[in-house]
Every structure is written in C-alpha cells, then in structure tokens.
Structure 1
Amino acid sequence: MAVLNQKSVLDMIKEFRRNWRTFCNSERTTVCGADSMLLALQLSMAENNKQYSGEFTVSLSDVLLTWKYLLHEKLNLPVENMKVIDHYENIRKIYDDFLKNSNMLDMIDVYKKCNVLTSNYENYANISPSQLRDFLSGRQYAVDNETDFSEPMSPISKHNRDNEKVQLLAKKIIYSYLNLLVNSKNDLALAHILNIPDRGLGREAFTDLKHAAREKQMSIFLVATSFIRTIELGGKGYAPSPSDPLRTHIKGLSNFINFIDKLDEILGEIPNPSIAGGQILSVIKMQLIKGQNSRDPFYKAIEEVAQDLDLRIKSIINSQQGDLALSTTDISPARPKSHAINHGTAYCGRDTVKTLLVLLDEEAASAPTKNKAELLYDDENTIHHNGTSILTLFR
C-alpha cells in the first residue's frame, strides 16, 4: 500500500476549506493535527480518571493504548482483538466535547466529512482509512527515522538535538499565537502561550481561568477577555469582587489580552495579507525576544522561525494569485475594543485569516512527533521559558 504523504493530507484539508459552510459553523474552525489530537486525548483521559478516581493524571502506556484504539474506532477499522481501556465511551465523549468547544476538528473528522462530498472526490479518493491511521500514528515514519537511543550521544549530536528542540519550541509558540488569533476558542493554543513570555500567569492563573470558563461555559480566552474588558470599560462600579480568584491576575491578563488585541487590530487595519502577516509575525517575535540575549538559542530560533513563516505566507499568497486569488472586497474594518470581546466572531481581515489558516493547515498536516513521552510529559522543553506541560496546566 502506498505511503500517505503530506500533500495528499493537505489536498483533503483544502477540500474541507472549500466546503466549510457544509461542515461547520465557522470559517475559523481549525484542524487538529496528530500531536494536538494526542494531547487532547491525554487531557480527556486525565479528566475521565479524575471523575472516577479523583486524580487528574494518566500514564503514557494508557494514552498510547487508547490512541491506537481511537484511531481504529474513529476510522471504522477492526477493533475486535484490540485492548480497550475502561470507560472508553466517556473518554471519547470528553474528547469530542473538548474539540467542539475549542472550535476544532481533528484530522479524522475532516476525512469523514470530505468523504461525504459528491464533487471533486478524486482529490482525496486514494486515501484509505488504514493510510490515514498510519500517517497519524507515525507508523510510516518508524522504520526510516528510528534512532538508537542506547548509544550515548556525542557532544555535537547532543548540541544539535538541543537546538532542534529549541527550534520546535519556538515554532510551537509562534504557531500557537497564530492559532489563537484565528480561533479564539482554542484552549490548547492558549495553554501553550498564556505565560510565554513571562506574565506571571503560571499554573495557578490558568487553573483559575479554567474553572471560571467551565462555570460560565465559555472558552478560556473569552473569560479572560470579558474579565479585563469589564474592568477597562466599566470603571470602579465594575471592579471585580475581592473574592474573585482572577483579581490577583489582573496585570498579567491585561498584558496578554492587550497583546492579542494588538495582533487583532493588525488584521483589521491592514488589508494586504502579506503585509499584515509579516507585521503580526514581527510583533510576536519582538514580544518573545524582548530582554533575551541575542546569542541565546531561543532568541535565534524565534528569529529564524518568524522569518521562515513570513516567507511561507508570501509564498502562499503568490500561489493563490491565479484562479484562487483571495478576494479583498469583503473585508470588514477592525471593530473597536468595546466590541471585540468575542474575537472568534469578529469578521475582519478575512483575507489574512484565510492565509493564516493555510499556514496552520500545513502545520496540522505535519508528521507526528516521534517521541510521545517528550510530547506529552516533558516539562524541560518549556520550563526555561516560563512554560509548563499541558497536562500539568489542565490538572
């Protein structure tokens, strides 16, 4: 059987984008790639364990076992002889609800929705369920990319691997900012960047936001935005109650929301998506490297990733200037801050949003991370940059 490549996956996602009105309520719905699917599953399993045993935790072996089962079950592949963890139905419900509330569709959802189309079916007709399973699980990369970890790494190899990890971290952070800008309901993206750079919004702040979001049945970003906007626009009469847990995080939340506002204003004020995209990346870059040593690997990685993505945005726009040229006739002006509480519904800078969605779709179609333990549990990648593992944040 032929190996499924990234182009085939991207063609499938493009078909979904062309028919988004048929499949979802928002043009800003984002696609959840393999790594994000696995993170969402991990959180869902931890939440399930909390409901049944009182502890928000889950082992790597259980996550990988359920990941394998989930791929088969969602793709309607045989599961008769596969092990399944207890309460799988509840885990699946939590997983589905998490994606729905985050305005995301995972890769299998996109595949299933595209399969119901009657037009242009040839674009992805050659993708079989087993091919998509192998792509998402990383099975097709296992042979070619195996590394012998039993042998000690040389200093040069370790240096290169450390640089690669920093590069991946920089990429994850910038993509998360872009993801939240496009889809303000994406709690997973917000978790990656709420306290990067340091805003004093660590685990305690995230936990308080998460509880408030759950109580109000809103996204975490919308809770933070409405809280800060009420204080900024409401005056003394709208000051938060002394018992409000978010009160202690006003400074950090204000910093975060105002920064996202700045990015959102670029979307609405600059009609040219190439210029707008470049400015958005530049503002994110300057925020992340401010106060950093220019010789620091993280500083260099942020600069390199921002430059690469800027070039990629220009390439995307150039490739669309033929028969798929982006229309600039339906751009709405940026809304004033008083009306910007729900960034997910603000209809401005549509051309730039569409370009950023292409960029995010390409990232979603990337090959999954090989080291699952590092992806799911390793705090080392982020702790030096004021981050915490996703599981720890949501605990």
Structure 2
Amino acid sequence: MGAFGVALSEVLAAWKYFLLDNLQLSHNDIPLPQNYDLIRKRKSLEKLDPLPVCPATPSNKAGICSPKIQRVVRRVFCSYLGLLVKSKNDMALAFTLDNPNRSLGHIAFTDLRHATCNSTSSLFLTVTSFVRAIQLGGKGYAPPESHPLRKHVKALSEFLNFIDQCQVLGETSNPREAGFKLVSSIRASLVKGCSNGDPVYLAAEDTGKSLKESIGQKRETVKVLMTLFDEEALAPPCRNKAELLPEDQAVLNGSSGACLLTLYKSPEAPTGSSPKPLRNRVLSQQEHIKSKRPLT
C-alpha cells in the first residue's frame, strides 16, 4: 500500500531469527536477515530504556506517573462505571473484583467461574444472587457449605456493597453531580491506605480529575459514560504487545497478582504437571521434525 519500506516477508524472517537467537537455538538453514545487527541493537536499547516511574516521596507530587499505572488505574475507573451501566460486562467485573485488594484473586475468580458454569447468568449476577441468598435467604434457602463461593463470602459482600453504594450515588437527580460523586467514590476506594506519593494515589488523582473534567462538559450522565467508554475502546492498550498480558493486580495492590488471561482461563481441575520451558518445547519440536525428514 506504499506505507512501508520493507516487505512483510523480511520482517517475519527477521523476527523468527531473532526469536531463535534469544532462545539460544539453532538457526538451521535460515540465512542471516539484512540489517540484523541493527535490529538487535535497537532491541537492546529498548530494554535499557524503561518506562518512567512515579516519585516515591510525598514531597514531589508533580512527578509524572508511569504510563502503565495510568492506563491500569483509568481502566479500573471505567470498568466500575461500565459495570454500573451493564451488569453483564464480565470483563469489567474481572478488572474490579480485586481492585482495590479484597483477596479475590485467581482462586476466587476460578471458583466464581465454577459457580457460573451451570447457569446462563453473568459473573456479576452470580455474585449478586449468591450474596443476596446469604444475606436474606435464611437457613432454608442459603447456599450449601459446599458452594464454591462459600469461602469468599466476606470479600464478595464487600465488593457488592461498594457497587450498591455506587448505584445509589448514580441515582442522584443532577447528572453532573452524580458523575462527580461516582468518580470521587471510586477514587477514594482505590487510594485507601496509600500515601500521597504512592504511584497509585497519584494516578488515581490525575484520572479522577480528568474524568470530572469530561463529566463537567456534558449534561447527561449516560452520554458522559458512553463517551468515556468510546475513548477507552479507541485508546491503544499499551506501547508494547507484550504488555497486553499485564499483572494488573500487582500494579495496583503490590501483590503477586495474575494477568487477565490467567483469570479467564477455563476453571479445570489441575493435572499436577507444569508445561516445559519454551526452549525445551521448541527443541523437542525441532527434533520431531528432523526425525520425519526423508533420508537422502
């Protein structure tokens, strides 16, 4: 189309060679790509050029937060708002369930998936029906002790109570005021326990301010939220495709965390075996291919 100065085949060849090089595997008969030394040099420079980070001291509040933290915090804000607009948004629930930390990580999410497997409900509706049954059902209607969510009652109740509070704030008669209150409530939840110089605190302050400015320019709350969601959908998720698998929980909670795809994997029973390292798997595949080649 005239927009690129190099053929796609050359890019793919360079990438394949680079991957084998990094895994310290044999290049077989793959010729050295043109300008390969420049490619390696560029990749080395990218590794030495980390993203800027927030200052660690409260005295320097004007510092610029890491773009990754900014993206994660904004995503959580918009996910809370999105969950209020559409409760069937499972992706929004995944981003908000354990942000801030409620001890609802991978194990809790897997249990939630198990509890949802046998119904047509969304993840959020599964949480709602379970917590309401505990709160209002009494002994005769409460879920049995064997229910997979039983061990997460307290944390799930905290999550649902916060969503209930947000829904009440969203019903404020003045749409602009409702939007301001929602953003302030989400911000307060995310920064609870953080110091003024904490990266998450700074990112939440900046995000809350920008969202309120957007809300102030609109008269109807629904239009405000839809505009925010459109902006979120159009914004590039990250500068590097490898960051599409971020450990968002670790960014916000300082815990071990789990990437979103790990949370969304099928909740199957563990087999007890772990996958072999990538290098070993590639070597095994290469040996398999060699063994099938006809003898000359």
TM-score grouping bracket, smaller chain normalisation:
0.5 to 0.7
- Matched residues in 2 for 1:274 and 1:192: separation? 25
Match of 2:142 among 209, 216, 239: 239
1:277 aligned partner:
179
Deviations 1:55-107 (A, max 9, x none): xxxxxx9xxxxxxxxxxxxxxxxxxxxxxxxxxxxxxxxxxxxxxxxxxxxxx
Q: Note if contact 1:176-1:192 (Cα within 8 Å) is conserved in structure 2.
A: yes
**Does the CA contact (< 8 Å) of 1:292 and 1:299 recur in 2?**
yes
* Cα-to-partner distance string for 1:275-330 (whole Å, 9 max, x where unaligned): 0000000000111111112211111111110111011111233xxxxxxxxxxxxx
What's 2:115 paired with?
212
> Distance between the aligned counterparts of 1:235 and 1:359, measured in 2?
41
- Give yes or no for the alignment of 1:299 onto 2:201: yes
Q: Which moved more, 1:157-166 or 1:181-190?
A: 157-166
Alignment check: 8 A CA contact 2:69 2:251 kept: yes
What percentage of residue pairs aligned between the two structures are identical? Answer: 44
One-letter amino acid matched to 1:266: L
Q: Secondary structure at the match of 1:316?
A: coil
Task: Look up the match of 1:354.
Answer: 223
**Other-structure match for 1:191:** 94
C-alpha root-mean-square deviation of aligned residues, in Å? Answer: 2.7
Following TM superposition, by how much is the alpha carbon of 1:239 offset from its aligned partner in structure 2, in angstroms?
A: 2.4
- Partner of 2:263 in structure 1? 393
Give the letter for the 2:240 counterpart. N
**Cα distance in 1, alignment partners of residues 163 and 246 from structure 2:** 28
Which letter maps to 1:211?
H
| Aligned partner of 1:230 among 133, 144, 162 | 133
Deviation at 1:234, TM superposition (A): 1.8
Give SS of 1:393's match: helix
CA distance in 1 between counterparts of 2:263 and 2:243 reads 16
Deviation, 1:207, is 0.8
Partner residue in 2 for 1:150? 44
Instruction: Show the counterpart of 1:181.
Output: 84
Deviation at 1:172, TM superposition (A): 1.3
CA contact (8 A) 1:382 1:389 kept: no
C-alpha distance 231-353 of structure 1, shift in aligned 2 (>3 A): farther
CA distance in 2, matches of 1:154, 1:201: 34
1:203 to 106, 113, 120: 106
The equivalent of 1:250 in structure 2 is: 153
Aligned position for 1:267: 170
**Which residue of structure 2 lines up, in the alignment, with residue 310 of structure 1?**
212
Following superposition, the deviation at residue 384 of structure 1 comes to: 2.0
> Are the equivalent residues in 2 in contact too, given 1:186–1:219 (CA < 8 A)?
yes
State how 1:111-122 maps to structure 2 within 5 Å: none
Q: Deviations over 1:117-160 (max 9, x none)?
A: xxxxxxxxxxxxxxxxxxxxxxxxxxxxxxx54215468x6437
Number of equivalences? 218
* Distance change (3 Å), C-alpha of 1:286 and 1:204: same
TM-score by length of 2: 0.67
The 1-side partners of 2:255 and 2:205 are apart by 16
SS at match of 1:367: coil
Moved more, 361-370 or 212-221: 361-370
1:372 aligns with 2:275: no
Q: Larger relative contact order (C-alpha < 8 A, sep ≥ 6)? A: 1
Q: Structure 2: how far apart are the matches of 1:174 and 1:206? A: 20
Contact 2:169 2:178 in 1 (8 A): yes
In the aligned structure 1, how far is the partner of 2:163 from the partner of 2:65?
A: 30
Matching residue's letter, 1:170: V
- Could you tell me how far apart the structure 2 residues matched to 1:184 and 1:353 are? 15
CA distance 1:230–1:289, change in 2 (3 Å) = same
Q: Measure, in 2, the Cα distance between the counterparts of 1:154 and 1:216.
A: 48
Q: CA deviation at 1:221?
A: 0.2
Q: Secondary structure at the match of 1:159?
A: coil
Cα deviation for residue 242 of structure 1 reads 1.1
Q: Secondary structure of 1:260's match?
A: helix
Post-superposition CA distance 1:233-275 (Å, at most 9, x none):
222332220111111110000000110011111122x121110
Q: Is the 8 A contact 2:166 2:185 kept in 1?
A: yes
Unaligned runs of 5+ in 1: 4-60, 62-147, 318-350
Consecutive unaligned residues of structure 2, counting only runs of 5 or more, are 4-15, 17-41, 55-63, 266-296
Instruction: Letter of the 1:309 partner, please give it.
Output: L
1:200 aligned counterpart, secondary structure:
coil
The residue matched to 2:236 in structure 1 has which SS? coil
Shift of 1:190: 0.8
